[in-house]
Structure 1
Amino acid sequence: MFKYIKNDLPASIVVFFVALPLCLGIALASGAPLFSGLIAGIIGGIVVGALSGSKIGVSGPAAGLAAIVLTAIGTLGGYENFLVAVVLGGVIQLIFGFLKAGIIGYYFPSSVIKGMLTGIGIIIILKQIPHFFGYDADPEGDFAFFQVDGENTFSELLNTVNNISLGSTIVGIVGLGILILWNNVLSKKGRIFQLIQGPLVAVVFGIVYFFIAGSDSKYGISSEHLVSVPVPENMSSFLAQFSFPNFAAITNPEIWVVGFTIALVASLETLLCVEATDKLDPHKNVTPTNRELLAQGTGNILSGLIGGLPVTQVIVRSSANIQSGGRTKMSAIIHGFFLLISVILIPTLLNKIPLSVLAAILLVVGYKLAKPALFKKMYNLGWKQFLPFTVAVVGIVFTDLLVGIGLGLAVGIVVILIKSFQNSHFLHKEGEDVDDGKIKMTLAEEVTFFNKGAILKELDNLPKDSFLELDVRKTTYLDNDIIEILDDFAFKAKERNINIKLVSERGIIENPDSFTEFFKLKKAN
């Protein structure tokens, strides 16, 4: 596990700086105590990271669950009752894992997964622009289009124009310049620039700038534009930040409904993230999905028991890990320890980090996920790939993650149905005059009820007094709906004086009276 520590340690630092504001922001957007987001981040890094089979995935609180958490805390009668649902959600995820439900993630088309990554990249960019310029009215974790404060993604951008903070903007621009310089130039100049990562240098610059400029001057950065970690006065106040589930409420049916909802949504987000991160991984590792569900379930049980938000594997932190050179699960585990140590030992120093420099780091992450070249590549692959990809991107940007993925998947299914309609058979006509020619129809390997319309149309369009050769030698599965159509056509063919020659691997049959009997015998043999 320590073989690639030279890669994992710098990557863990980047993931730590990305995860810290997200843990706090998602807790804020969820209406939960800020410390609950940090607990989830720590559990996601250390516990889930250790149990997971993913080498580059990073887990923590997810923005996709924020709306569910916000609603559930109110309807269940308090945060302690909600924690019971988190624990139950973890238990249900363990059941999913034992039932080997992890295979579900593989049924999502590649175009939709790429659309998910691109859509998230665009959201990251759009959501971080206000923070980059020092407009921080919107919670960091509010990743949905319609936000908890009544605004939306684009109205926040318009509000930013009138609320630019000069100090935050300077830090953001210089921090972004450091990241670009480090990534494109300095990282190729020497080993020292590979060991010391650009994001760490950018964060250090932001802290130094704040100490020099202060908070009151024209070029200063006020406290609302800084990271805000809870600062305990002593060990007692630190321990007081933990909450514990009220298991007396476990008989409430609504808690079981919320628990199942958390398990279902968290599992789906995790499986989609696993599929996406495996595609991003330059070393093409394959994550065991059932083991991932077991790891996530264990993480949610522990997080709920000590007052944390639900956890999932999350694409923002995972992609930051990959792009920073993380090679093994140690980067995720170390980032969890960084979160734990920092909130205990240096919360005051963390509260000197400008949000704009963290926004600069996330802007780079977002750009790498949503490069313009990817749009060109998907377009060149043809409409069957480009359309589901585009719908997923637009859906994610203008709604939320799961809705966007659902829309992309729906379009992908429609594309499959269209191609299935077109490819159910091959029709070949011989002779110059259709009325005198022989018509040959070759059925596909698998023909289902989706193909009824296409085949029925072709059979109905056959002219009178013609000759049809129906070739089923390659057909291994024929739906009963299609057999019924062929039976009906055999009856009508006699009225229209159409001769039929059925060609199969068993031989040739002229003008069969019943296709049903033939395919029953074929199946029996």
Structure 2
Amino acid sequence: MFKYIKNDLPASIVVFFVALPLCLGIALASGAPLFSGLIAGIVGGIVVGSLSGSKIGVSGPAAGLAAIVLTAIGTLGGYENFLVAVVLGGIIQLIFGVLKAGIIGYYFPSSVIKGMLTGIGIIIILKQIPHFFGYDADPEGDFAFFQVDGETTFSEIINAINHITPGSALIGIIGLAILLLWDKVLSKKGKFFKLVQGPLVAVIVGIIFFVITQSNEFLRIEQSHLVSVPVPEGIDSFIGQFSFPNFAVIANPEVWIVAFTIALVASLETLLCVEATDKLDPHKNVTPTNRELLAQGTGNIISGLIGGLPITQVIVRSSANIQSGGRTKASAIIHGFFLLISIILIPRLLNMIPLSVLAAVLFIVGFKLAKPALFKQMYDLGWKQFIPFTVTVVGIVFTDLLVGIGLGLAVGIVVILIKSYQNSHFLHIEDKSNGKHKIKMTLAEEVTFFNKGAILKELDSLPMDTYLELDVRKTRYLDNDIIEILDDFAFKAKERNIDIQLVSERGVVENPESFIEFFSLRPKTSKN
């Protein structure tokens, strides 16, 4: 696992700086203790990272679950009661893994997955604009269009323009310049600049800027615009930050409803992220999805037992890991240890990091996910790829991740139905003979009820006095709905003076009396 430590260690530092504000921000957006987000990040890195089969995926608290957590804490009567649902949700995820439900992850269309990555990239950029300029009314990690502070994504940007904090904006610009210089120029100059990542330099410069501008009324950065890690006053104070589930409420049906909701949503987000990260991975590793569900379930059980938020694999941290050159699961695990060690040893130092610098880091992550060239690439692939892609992007930006994915998936299914409608059969007119049109219709290998409309349309459009050759030699599966259509047509064909020749692997039948009877006697194939 440590074979690529020269790649994984620098990547883990970048992931650490991306994860830190998101763990805190998601906890704040969820109405949970700030420390609960850090617990989830640590467990997601160390525990899930160790058990997962993904080489580049990173797990932690997910923005997509924030609204569910916020509502559930109130519904269940407190955070300790909610933790019971987190533990039970983890157990349900283990059951999903044992039942091999991870196979669902392989059925998301590529256009929707690419739309998801692009939509998240755009959301990251839009959501970080206010933080970049020092307007931090909405917590980090709130990725929904309708925000927890009552604003929307775009109204928040407008408010930010009217409330720019000079010091935050300046160090944000300096940090972004450092990142661009590192990425475009210095990283190509030698091994040192690959080992020491630009985000680490930007964060160090940000801390120095905060310290030296404290006496400057114009440029000083207030605590509300900095990272806000809880600072314990000793070992007892640190241990006191952990919460534990109140299992006395385990018989409450609402706890089980929340648990199943967490398990379902967390599993879907994880499977989507697995599919997306595997597409981003330049080394094209394939993550075992059932093992991933087992790892996530274990992580959620442990996180819930010690007071952490629910965990999923998350695309922002995973993509930051990939972009920074992470090669193995060591980068995810090390980032978890960085979170743990830093909140114990250097919480006050972490609280000197301007959020605007971390926003600059996320700008780069977001832009690499949502490159403009991808829109042209998807457009060039045709409308059947471009429309689900675009709907997913727009849905994510104007609603949230799961709704956007759902809309894209729905459109993708419609596209599949249209393609199925078009590909049910091949039809061409061969010649005219004996005063009749001779038409040959060859059915596809698999013909289902999706194809009813197309076949009905073609059969009804046949003119009178036609000779129809129906070739089913290549057809391995013929839905009963289609057989009934053919049987009905055989009756109507007599009235329209249409002769039918049925060509099958069993030979040729002229004007079959009953298609239902014919196909009921047909030998079963391996696909039936």
The TM-score bracket by the shorter chain reads over 0.9
Query: Structure 1 unaligned runs (5+)?
Result: none
Q: Secondary structure at the match of 1:437?
A: strand
Secondary structure in 2 matching 1:287: coil
Shift of 1:523: 2.9
The answer to whether the Cα contact below 8 Å between 2:396 and 2:405 also exists between their aligned partners in 1 is yes
C-alpha distance in 1, partners of 2:135/2:215?
15
Code of the aligned partner of 1:401: L
- For residue 268 of structure 2, what is the amino acid of its counterpart? L
Query: Offset at 1:161?
Result: 1.0
Structure-2 residue corresponding to 1:495: 495
Aligned to 1:158: 158
Aligned residue pair count: 525
Output the amino acid matched with 2:487: D
What root-mean-square deviation, in Å, do the aligned CA atoms of Structure 1 and Structure 2 show? 1.1
The within-5 A match list for 1:53-64 is: 53-64=53-64
The yes-or-no answer on 1:145 pairing with 2:140 is: no
Question: Which residue of structure 2 aligns with residue 521 of structure 1?
Answer: 521
How far is 1:436 from its partner?
3.4
1:297 paired to 2:305: no
Percent identical: 83
| SS of residue matched to 1:430 | strand
| Distance in structure 1 (CA, Å) of the matches to 2:523 and 2:490 | 20
In the alignment, residue 273 of structure 2 is paired with which amino acid?
Answer: C
Structure 1 position 239 matched with structure 2 position 239: yes
Correspondence 1:438 to 2:438: yes
**Equivalent residue letter for 1:36:** S
The superposition leaves residues 114-146 of structure 1 with CA deviations (integer Å, 9 ceiling, x where unpaired) of 000000000000000000010100010111000
Distance 1:236 1:216, change over 3 A: farther
Separation (CA, whole Å) in 2 of partners of 1:356 and 1:305 = 34
Equivalences for residues 369-518 of structure 1 within 5 A:
369-431=369-431, 436-518=436-518
Q: CA deviation at 1:235?
A: 0.8
Range with bigger deviation, 427-436 or 133-142: 427-436
Structure 2 gaps of 5+ residues are none
Contact 1:426 1:443 in 2 (8 A): yes
Aligned to 1:23: 23
Distance 1:384 1:244 in 2: 49
State whether residues 34 and 230 of structure 1, in contact with CA within 8 Å, keep that contact through their aligned partners in structure 2.
yes
Letter in 2 for 1:72: A
| Counterpart in the other structure of 1:350 | 350
Equivalent residue number for residue 321 of structure 1: 321
Is 2:121–2:369's contact at 8 Å kept on the other side of the alignment? yes
- Corresponding residue SS for 2:521: helix
| Deviation of 1:522 (Å) | 1.6
Q: Which moved more, 1:26-35 or 1:493-502?
A: 493-502
**Contact in 2 for aligned 1:435/1:463 (Cα 8 Å):** no
Change (3 A) 1:506 1:370: same
How much has 1:79 moved relative to structure 2? Answer: 0.3
Aligned equivalents of 1:48 and 1:434: distance in 2? Answer: 74
Measured after TM superposition, the shift of residue 434 of structure 1 is: 12
* 1:219 counterpart SS class: coil
Letter in 2 for 1:240: G
Contact preservation (8 Å) 1:133, 1:168: yes
The 3-state SS of whatever aligns with 1:429 is: strand
1:427 and 1:169 map into 2 onto residues whose CA distance is 65
- Tell me, what secondary structure is at the counterpart of 1:37? helix
Asked whether the 8 Å contact 2:57–2:332 carries over to 1, the reply is: yes
Partner of 1:3: 3
Specify the SS of the correspondent of 1:3. helix
Structure 1 segments of 4+ aligned residues over 4 angstroms from their partners: 432-435
Classify the secondary structure of the residue corresponding to 2:14.
Answer: helix
Partners of 2:289 and 2:416 lie apart in 1 by 25
Whether the 8 Å contact between 1:26 and 1:62 is mirrored in structure 2 is yes
* Residues 244 and 307 in structure 1, CA contact (< 8 A), matched pair in contact too: yes
Instruction: Describe the SS at the equivalent of 1:339.
Output: helix
Offset of 1:435 from its aligned partner?
A: 6.8
Counterpart residue identity of residue 49, structure 1: G
The separation in 2 between residues aligned to 1:5 and 1:458, in whole angstroms, is 63
Please say if residues 244 and 304 of structure 1, whose CA atoms lie closer than 8 Å, have aligned partners that are also in contact.
yes
C-alpha contact (below 8 Å) 1:215/1:221 kept by paired residues: no
Give the structure 1 partner of residue 261 of structure 2. Answer: 261
Q: Residue 147 of structure 1 aligns to a residue in which SS?
A: coil
